[in-house]
Amino acid sequence: MAATKDPRPCSIADALTLVGEKYSLLVLREVCLGNGRFDQLVRNIGAPRDILATRLRRLVEAGILTKRAYSERPQRYEYRPTQAGLELEPVLMTLMAWGDRHLRKDDDRPMVIEHICGNELVPLVTCQACGGTVDHADLTAHPQAPGWTVAGPSAA
Amino acid sequence: MAATKDPRPCSIADALTLVGEKYSLLVLREVCLGNGRFDQLVRNIGAPRDILATRLRRLVEAGILTKRAYSERPQRYEYRPTQAGLELEPVLMTLMAWGDRHLRKDDDRPMVIEHICGNELVPLVTCQACGGTVDHADLTAHPQAPGWTVAGPSAA
DNA sequence: CCTGTGAGTTGGAAAATCAAACCCATTAAG
DNA sequence: CTTAATGGGTTTGATTTTCCAACTCACAGG
C-alpha cells in the first residue's frame, strides 16, 4: 500500500515551497523596490540575519533572485530579481490590495503604487481570453492529475 | 533610540501574518474547491492534523473561513470561505499561473481552471484605471507611512 | 458487540526560529 | 598607528513550531 502522504499535485503548492516560507515574499517586495542589500533587507523586513541568509540562498538557487557584486574591494553584494522574480510582483500587488481592503480602515494604506498611466494602481485579476474579472462563481476546476478529482483522490 | 525592530509597515506583510503560515493558502485552495471537511483537508493537503486544526482556528478568527455544522447528531462540521476568503482566490490563481509557467515543463499542468466565458483561465493582473497589464517597469512605489522612504527608514 | 467514520486533541521527538554575539575585510577618523 | 564603523554574513544556545503516531469522543451499521 502506498504512503498515506500524497497531497494533491498543484502548482500553488509548488510555488509555495519556493516562496511560501516566512519572509520570502517580503524579501521579494524589498528587492522589487530596489533594496537588495543585506542590511537594508534586515532593517526593512525585520527578519533575523541568519534566516534571511538562508532565504536568500534558497531564492537564488530557485532562480528568483540573483546575487551580484556592486563593489570589488571591499566586496559588497546586492540581490536583484530575475525575470521569474519580477513576474511574482503581480502576486504581491494583488495580495497588497487584499490587505488594504480587508485589514485596514478607510484609506490608511501604508504604500500607494502609481501605474505608468498616471493613476493609482488598483490591481484587477482578469481572464486573458474575455477580459472579465476573475470571481469565484465564474470558475470551474478541472484536475488533470490521474487519480485526482476536485473532491480528492479517487479509488485509493 | 527606538527599538531596532520596526519593519516597514505594509499590507503585504499584514496579509501574510494571516495567510502566510505553512498550509494556510492550501486550506483556502481546498475550501474554494468545496472541500471543507477536516479529513478531506488532511488528505488533499497532506498536513499534520494538529497543525491543520490550528490553521483552521486562525483562519476562522481572521474572518477568512466560517465553520458550519452540516449535520447535528452526529455533529459534523465543514469550513467554507467568507467573502474575504473568496477574494483571495485571485491571488491563488495568479500564483498557480506563475507556478505553471516557471515550475513545469510544457503543458503538464496539474489543474486547469475554466472561466465562465468558456475558455481556459489565464489570469492577468491589470490596472483598473487603464486596463493595461501590471509590469514591474510601469510601477512607482510611494510609501505613505511617516519615516519611511522606498529605500528604508528616514532619519531614525 | 465490534468496527468504522468524522473531527479533532495529546505527548514527545525533531526541526526551525530567534536574538545576540562574533568574524573578516576594508575604509575613515583621531 | 590605533580605534571605530560598515557590509555581509556565520555561530551559538535558548525558545518555538512542526511533525507523527496514538488516542479520544460521539454516533452509526452490521
**Could you read off the pLDDT of A74-90 as tens digits, one per residue?**
999 999 999 999 999 99
Instruction: Retrieve residue A15's grid coordinates.
Output: 510555488
Å: A72 CA to D1 C1':
26
Decide: B6 and B146 in contact? Cβ < 8 Å: no
List, for residues A14-59, the tens digit of each pLDDT value: 999 999 999 999 999 999 999 999 999 999 999 999 999 999 999 9
CA B101 centroid distance within chain: 19
**CA separation, residue B45 to residues A25, B23, B90, B131 (Å):** 21, 7, 20, 36
Considering only CA atoms, which of B65, B75, B62, B63 is closest in space to residue B36? B65
Instruction: Retrieve residue A110's grid coordinates.
Output: 501604508
Give the amino acid at B109. Answer: R
Q: Band of the pLDDT at A156, cuts 50, 70, 90?
A: low
Residue A5 confidence (pLDDT): 80
d(CA B24, CA B87): 15
List, for residues B44-58, the tens digit of each pLDDT value: 999 999 999 999 999
B111 touches chain A (CB under 8 A): yes
Q: Is the CB of A44 under 7 A from strand D?
A: no
DSSP E strands, chain B: 65-71, 76-81, 111-115, 123-127, 139-143
Give the amino acid at A143. Answer: P
CA B129 centroid distance within chain: 24
pLDDT at A1 over 50: no
* Domain A11-107 fold: Arc Repressor Mutant, subunit A (1.10.10)
**Residue A49 forms beta bridges with which residues?**
none
For chain A, give the percent of residues with pLDDT over 70: 96
pLDDT tens by residue, chain B, 156 residues: 444 579 999 999 999 999 999 999 999 999 999 999 999 999 999 999 999 999 999 999 999 999 999 999 899 999 999 999 999 999 999 999 999 999 999 889 999 999 999 999 999 999 999 999 999 999 999 999 999 999 999 865
Decide: B9 and B145 in contact? Cβ < 8 Å: yes
Which A residues in the span 32-71 are in contact with B, Cβ-Cβ below 8 Å? Answer: 32-35, 40, 43-46, 63
Residue B3 confidence (pLDDT): 46
List, for residues A47-72, the tens digit of each pLDDT value: 999 999 999 999 999 999 999 999 98
d(CA B37, CA B44): 11
Q: Which bases of chain D are contacted by protein, using any atom under 7 A from a CB?
A: 6-12, 18-22, 26-28
Residue B4 confidence (pLDDT): 58
Domain boundaries, chain B: 11-87, 89-156
d(CA B116, CA A134): 9
B16 touches chain A (CB under 8 A): yes
Decide: A28 and A85 in contact? Cβ < 8 Å: yes
**Residue A137 forms beta bridges with which residues?**
none
Residues of B in contact with A102 (CB under 8 A): 63, 84, 87
Chain-chain contact of B139 with A115 (C-beta, under 8 angstroms):
yes
Residue A4 confidence (pLDDT): 60
Q: Is the CB of A51 under 7 A from strand D?
A: no
d(CA B149, CA B46): 41
Q: Which bases of chain C are contacted by protein, using any atom under 7 A from a CB?
A: 5-11, 17-21, 25-27
- DSSP 8-state class, residue B137: G
Q: Band of the pLDDT at A150, cuts 50, 70, 90?
A: very high
Instruction: Retrieve residue B137's grid coordinates.
Output: 517597469
- DSSP 8-state class, residue B121: P
**Residue B54: which nucleotide is closest by CA–C1'?**
C8
Residue B154 confidence (pLDDT): 87
Count of Cβ atoms closer than 10 Å to residue B114 Cβ: 14
Strands A76-81 and A65-71: antiparallel
- Cell 510611494 belongs to B142
d(CA A133, CA B115): 10
Which A residues in the span 126-155 are in contact with B, Cβ-Cβ below 8 Å? Answer: 126-130, 132, 134-145, 148, 150-153
Q: Band of the pLDDT at A154, cuts 50, 70, 90?
A: confident
* Domain B11-87 fold: Arc Repressor Mutant, subunit A (1.10.10)
For chain B, give the percent of residues with pLDDT over 90: 92
Phi, psi values for residue A121, rounded to 5°:
-75, 120
**Which uninterrupted H or E stretch holds B83?**
helix B83-86
- Report CA Rg, chain A: 19
Q: Is the CB of A47 under 7 A from strand C?
A: yes
